[in-house]
Structure 1
Amino acid sequence: MALLSLFEITKTYEHKDILKNISLSIQEGERIAVVGKNGSGKSTLLKIIMGCEDIESGERVTLGNLQIAYLPQIPSFPRGMSVEGAIEESLDELKKAHTRLEIVNLELQKSQEKKLLDEYATLSAYIDRHNAWDLNARVEEVIAHFELEDLRHRVIDTLSGGEQKRVALSQILFKQCDLLLLDEPTNHLDVEMVEFLEQKLLSLKCSLLFISHDRYFIENLATRVIEVENAKLTSFEGGYSSYLAKKEEMLRALSKEHEVLLKLLKSEEEWLRRGVRARLKRNEGRKKRIFEMREKAKTNPSIINKMKLELERERKAFNQEEGRNNKKMLFEAHNLYKKLGDKVLFQDLNLRILQRDKIAIVGKNGSGKSSLLKVLLGESGYDSGELKRGEVRIGYFDQHRAMLDESKDILETFCPNGGDRVQVRDKNMHVYGYLKNFLFPKEFLTQKISQLSGGEKNRVALALLFTKEYDCLILDEPTNDLDINTINILEEYLQSFEGCILFVSHDRYFVDKIAQKLLVFEGGGKVVERYESYSEYLEDKKELLEYALIEKEVAREQKEKKAKSPTKLSYKDQRALELLPQEIEGLEMRIKRLELELSDPKIYEQKGIVSIANELEECKREYEAKLEQYFELMERSESLG
């Protein structure tokens, strides 16, 4: 069923078509990713779907009473609102539903009117649909995962852009809607937050349309990908890997002008196919090991420590440095220590960075990653330890694009001394021939930097960076605000770069593809080196966490068991062991009967839906308790011989 449809929509801006005669239908239950170059009209499309953007022509049709929730790239809040106030506001409708349900429940105890029964069923379904029976637990879960606990009472105006985005995401997860629109929801989130957001979005019972350049995020969520290109929409069924394969097929049928894109797409598709297959295999292996562990640990708790040690030993063996002494040393740190206020960013940091290292610096926001880059660049000091730096030419890229002069055009930027040739890695190239690789058409050469979009400026900055001769590239969040095509170009250049690359990123896909080594900021000043992919590191981390949870669970069960354990079964317990099977069977039959009554309007209108539901709930509780009692008595009886 179509929730919303656009028919022949046209939108222009300053006499330029942003979208031209586009049509789109969003079905119930779909999760649609929107991709395309920066400035192609992705955000405009979301605003048109939302109904907050004027159009030149066409028609927008929605299902009656359609509820839409929208998270823009830069969220806004009422002035003076606190974090807690913003979250409370988003819970308003759910709290009203809970209050009304309590009132209806009381009224039904006096009268079993059909109108009340129907309202009770509607309210219950509404709360169930939004998984909102325990609102407090859900709020605390979201606050914990988005790390808002210490910000609860802060005024939102005083927060950073990243913190505001997390507040807005917390709100949107509680919005009651049929269609959810998200514009770059993963910007400013660390990996753990992105994974939590993925889980929550997958569990929502609404349609979803989102803009993202996070390729794992798209692959994990999307049931369809829509590309915005040249003011048109093209739809591709499936996730990111399916989009790549179908896009490649399309480009093969077109002219040679697409050969650069085709080459990038083919490389990307092959890499992703291998990566996804490996990730699925690792994930299945981890789940199997955890399941087996849970069963074995009940009788042999020591197996948990054995598995933890084996996993750590495997990681340690994999993370040994081999054959690296013949490379030129660029940086060497001994017992480096730095703190910011009372917070230790890194301590006892021993580090050797060599000429062809490809190192990703990963970890939570605020853990000290960018601070380490600034120390290596010589822009910031450290409190103790020693840092040696060899003769090294460093190219630095950050989001401020300080290397660009806004008053110059693109040609002047690349050829400051005149002419139209540029030197790129021992090759003398025409500027257009070079910039074509960064997806710039010829007419852009005379455009002022100041007239470019943010994404286009990033492309110019990256293209300029790769014309210089460097021993080491230091990149701080290089994929932020880049579209996927530009990220593909960046990756191709980094993979062929023969010097050292040191970069900070939260983009799991980008890190997996580029890094040969990880520097992981684990918190509390601890930094560890890993010679594995980021996905492998995250899977290992999850596995160790699950082992720890099983260990706690087994220890608690054993403690309870020991406290209850007598030398032999009492007469009362022996008698219960004999009678419980019959009682359990009787409860099973009663549960089936009550479930049939709940599905029959004639019966539940006569007996009362609330009365039957309460009886069924009580019956199930009694059944579970007796089942648990029976198995416990059986186990004790067997252990006592």
Structure 2
Amino acid sequence: MLIELQHIQKQFGGHAVLTDANLHVNAGERIGLVGRNGSGKTTLLRLIVGADSPDEGTIYRKQRLHIGYLAQIPAHPGKSGRDVLYTAFAELTRLGDEMRQLEEQMASNDDIDALLETYGALQTRYENGGGYVIDSKVNAMIDGLRLNRFVDRPFDTLSGGERTKVGLALALLQEPELLILDEPTNHLDLEAMAWLETFLRESPSTLLLVSHDRVFLDAVATRVVECEDGKLTSFDGNYSAFVAQKEKRLLDQFHAYTEQQKKIKKMKETIRQLRQWANEGNPPNEKFYRRAKSMEKALARIETIKRPRLEAVQPDIQFTANGRTGRDVFEATDVTVSYDRTVFEHVSFYTGHGERVAIVGPNGSGKSTLLKVLLGQLEPTSGTVRRAERARIGYLSQHIDFEDSHRLIEAFRDRIAVDEGKARQLLAQFLFYGASVFKPVKDLSGGEKMRLMLAILMHEDVNVLVLDEPTNHLDIEAREALEDALDRFTGTLVAVSHDRYFLNKLFPVTYWLDVTATRFPGNVTYALEKRQYEPEAVVAVPKKTKSTEAPVTTVDARDTSADEARLSALEEAHQELLHQMNETNDLTELMALQHRADVLQADIDTLLDQLLESM
């Protein structure tokens, strides 16, 4: 056991966040922590790492437990993003520097026996610690998390999202005994998410992660812990297993509750009847009084089962399509957008009436830019865009801006013309109750801002919805409510998202945007599989009509078996050279072997990079 929490209580401003939280974390587990926004998940993580203290309860940690926690990322003046990643190997880097200093001393010193002994000991520590594969690990991490675009820029000039990705890579490279991640898939594109899932499943670190990504939790978690009503409940298995177990547990609890209510009702009726019989006696019957009193005491001792909440509290979202748009809603032909660089080029895109189309692709590929081009907010450098004349478009941007001076209800009434009473009634459907509607907009969380935008969008006159990362900041319950509402929407739907569950459920057509556009007649899982097994397939989508489908050119993935065999042989040869270096006492031979080992290592790194690119 690495961590144990017993009866933890924590309050903020008189509000109880955790009331009786109990948790144990065993070595080798991968625990997913789930719960509504504000349920105390991040508070729990801060307590575990020691950044905060509980009001009551006890936290036990294994002695000398190395915890990796991605929270606030410190500044690194004068360092690039790549330099920051190499700080994960600070001790190995120091050993490497000492080895190079000894090599210089041995080159100018006749008596090298003592130096060789010290050098051999250092080299053993360096090799056992993985010093010879540092570059390979860093390069694999950069490729896997798609950091190439910015990793060599000064770290302090990177955006918040870019710093977070570098911080995530650093935490993974450190391989702590317990790795704690809070929403690790934020800022990652789809292929980086898939890579991270594989990395975490193979990592030796014990994992505790907070996430609202249901596909990610399904792929990674071996146990799910739910934070609800100040307590923690554990479920074995991944997220799908958690949903099934929770549903069964709720039904069992409801059955126990109803049975107890029947028993309590029967006992109360019996007590009433006994008192009535006692009073009807002449004189009153003391025996019936005593039996009634005894039953009342038994009733008082019953520990009442709380009525379980069978349905989670969700926003009440409903979108209505008002009027038809015509057959062709969006039609882009050979569109290119360039600023100081080309964002994308020769993109063709088509959406017909009632279709549901997803736009996905790497970070920075121009997905939000393409939405603005389709909406007419941005003129393309070249190409043409047509929109249906009768299209009434509701647009949800991922960058939510309100007047900071406004309160929540004012921001809503600025867009939706209703009186205050009606506004409060409508906002209550989105879980804004009582005094919360007067909260300043600048103090709203990301999830609250997104719910406010959805409340506004729901009451606009639309027949086309264009959504840019609509599930960002929403907890799982709110995501499910949004998915159900969009599933019932009869109009046209176009969305940019990295949420694979959301994409798979709602969108049967997927455009992959990366320099140009590739159209896949299937959901995002289908598109990912096609890209994995047909990596050279490139489809420049032609002008569409409703009845045509874009062909996907199929190309066999490159056979890497020969390269893998060569890599294995190179690594064996490298290990043999290291063994010979440990055995020799001859300086000249040692230097020659070191040179050959360095050359082999460079070949290994190059071949490994080629293999990673072909995956």
Does TM, normalized by the shorter one, top 0.5? yes
- Determine whether 1:472 maps to 2:464: yes
Query: Match of 2:28, SS?
Result: coil
Contact 2:356-2:507 within 8 A present in 1 as well: yes
Match of 2:181 in 1: 182
Change (3 A) 1:46 1:493: same
Match of 2:43 in 1: 44
Match of 2:521 in 1: 531
In 2, the alpha carbon distance for the partners of 1:457 and 1:469 equals 21
Contact 2:175-2:204 within 8 A present in 1 as well: no
Q: Of residues 507, 522, 529 in structure 2, which corresponds to 1:515?
A: 507
Contact 1:181-1:209 within 8 A present in 2 as well: yes
In 2, the alpha carbon distance for the partners of 1:472 and 1:405 equals 29
- Determine whether 1:234 maps to 2:233: yes
In 2, the alpha carbon distance for the partners of 1:505 and 1:412 equals 25
In 2, the alpha carbon distance for the partners of 1:256 and 1:63 equals 38
Contact 1:7-1:59 within 8 A present in 2 as well: yes
Task: Return the index of the structure with the highest Cα Rg.
Answer: 2
Change (3 A) 1:123 1:553: closer
The number of residues matched between the two structures is 483
Change (3 A) 1:168 1:258: same
In 2, the alpha carbon distance for the partners of 1:352 and 1:103 equals 63
Match of 2:60 in 1: 61
Change (3 A) 1:188 1:412: closer
Query: Match of 1:353, SS?
Result: strand
Contact 1:435-1:463 within 8 A present in 2 as well: no
Q: Of residues 357, 362, 367 in structure 1, which corresponds to 2:365?
A: 367
Change (3 A) 1:245 1:485: same
Contact 2:92-2:126 within 8 A present in 1 as well: no
The letter of the residue matching 2:384 is E
Query: How far 1:214 moved relative to its partner?
Result: 1.3
1:230-285 CA-to-partner distances (Å, cap 9, x unmatched) read 22211111101011112222333348884543999xxxxxxxxxxxxxxxxxxxxx
Match of 1:383 in 2: 381
Change (3 A) 1:121 1:528: closer
Query: How far 1:144 moved relative to its partner?
Result: 2.5
The letter of the residue matching 1:356 is G
In 2, the alpha carbon distance for the partners of 1:555 and 1:245 equals 44
Deviates more, 1:448-457 or 1:458-467: 448-457
Match of 1:23 in 2: 22
Match of 1:462 in 2: 454
The letter of the residue matching 1:59 is T
1:512-561 CA-to-partner distances (Å, cap 9, x unmatched) read 111121111132xx21222111111111221124975544656999xxxx
Q: Of residues 352, 355, 367 in structure 2, which corresponds to 1:354?
A: 352
Query: Match of 1:506, SS?
Result: coil
In 1, the alpha carbon distance for the partners of 2:403 and 2:418 equals 16
In 1, the alpha carbon distance for the partners of 2:420 and 2:154 equals 54
- State TM-score, norm by structure 2: 0.69
Contact 2:361-2:367 within 8 A present in 1 as well: yes
1:94-136 CA-to-partner distances (Å, cap 9, x unmatched) read 44577899999x9xx999x9xx9999999876x3xxx665111
In 2, the alpha carbon distance for the partners of 1:23 and 1:79 equals 41
Change (3 A) 1:257 1:452: farther
Query: How far 1:55 moved relative to its partner?
Result: 2.2
In 1, the alpha carbon distance for the partners of 2:445 and 2:325 equals 44
In 1, the alpha carbon distance for the partners of 2:6 and 2:121 equals 37
In 2, the alpha carbon distance for the partners of 1:220 and 1:372 equals 31
Query: Match of 1:12, SS?
Result: strand
Query: Match of 1:481, SS?
Result: coil
Query: Match of 1:187, SS?
Result: coil
Match of 2:593 in 1: none
Identity of aligned residues (%): 33
Query: Match of 1:331, SS?
Result: strand
- Which runs of no fewer than 5 residues in structure 2 stay unpaired? 107-112, 255-305, 316-323, 537-554, 566-581, 584-615
- State TM-score, norm by structure 1: 0.67
Contact 1:392-1:472 within 8 A present in 2 as well: yes
In 2, the alpha carbon distance for the partners of 1:550 and 1:351 equals 29
The letter of the residue matching 1:71 is L
The letter of the residue matching 2:57 is G
Between structures 1 and 2, the one with greater helix share? 1
Change (3 A) 1:416 1:403: farther
In 2, the alpha carbon distance for the partners of 1:239 and 1:354 equals 38
Match of 2:247 in 1: 248
Query: Where does 1:36-435 land on structure 2 (aligned, <5 Å)?
Result: 36-72=35-71, 75-96=73-94, 127=129, 133-252=132-251, 253-254=253-254, 258=309, 260-261=311-312, 328-347=327-346, 349-390=347-388, 391-402=390-401, 407-410=406-409, 413=412, 416-418=417-419, 420-421=421-422, 431=425, 435=428
Change (3 A) 1:354 1:124: same
Query: How far 1:355 moved relative to its partner?
Result: 2.2
Query: How far 1:191 moved relative to its partner?
Result: 1.0
The letter of the residue matching 1:418 is D
The letter of the residue matching 1:527 is A
Change (3 A) 1:507 1:70: same
- Determine whether 1:448 maps to 2:425: no
Query: How far 1:452 moved relative to its partner?
Result: 3.9
- Determine whether 1:497 maps to 2:500: no
Change (3 A) 1:220 1:445: same
Q: Of residues 475, 479, 488 in structure 1, which corresponds to 2:480?
A: 488
- Which runs of no fewer than 5 residues in structure 1 stay unpaired? 265-324, 423-429, 558-609, 612-641
Query: Match of 1:374, SS?
Result: helix
Change (3 A) 1:97 1:3: farther
Contact 2:509-2:519 within 8 A present in 1 as well: yes
In 1, the alpha carbon distance for the partners of 2:98 and 2:215 equals 41
Query: How far 1:394 moved relative to its partner?
Result: 1.0
